[in-house]
Amino acid sequence: MHELSMAESLIGILVDEARNHGIVSIKKVKLQVGELAAVVPDSLTFCFELVSRDTIAEGAVLEIENVPIVAHCDRCDLTFKIQDSVFQCPRCEEPVFELLSGRELSVTSIEGETGE
């Protein structure tokens, strides 16, 4: 299950980040997920609830923001969004190999309580 391994690596990132910022209990996490990562948000949330048990991220709310796949055509210098997995320039029909975004799984913010 794709989302389960993702949720596990996410916990690893969160625990490290929280420790760096003195957070003892994570309440809310904002994530950016590229469309190419093919994550089902409900499924990721479900897996996250499973793997976060007994960690400092237990009960944290995930806010998932989808990032569209954006590509650039070298031939006509057009930047455009990829839709329906068509990796081709809509203007000159050149195949596209350069993707500017769409693969990311990144944590953009963590809210929580510090131990003070």
Positions that interact with Zn ion (CB under 5 A)? 73, 75-76, 78, 89, 91-92, 94
CB of 81 to Zn ion, least distance (A): 14
CB of 73 to Zn ion, least distance (A): 3
Q: Which is nearer to Zn ion, 65 or 98 (CB)?
A: 98
Task: Report the SS3 class of residue 53.
Answer: coil
CB of 97 to Zn ion, least distance (A): 12
**What is the Cα–Cα distance from 77 to 95, expressed in whole angstroms?**
13
Q: Which is nearer to Zn ion, 24 or 76 (CB)?
A: 76
Q: Which is nearer to Zn ion, 91 or 103 (CB)?
A: 91
Q: Tell me the H-state helices in the chain.
A: 2-20, 41-51
**What is the Cα–Cα distance from 53 to 39, expressed in whole angstroms?**
21
Residue that the structure tokens 């309580």 belong to: 113
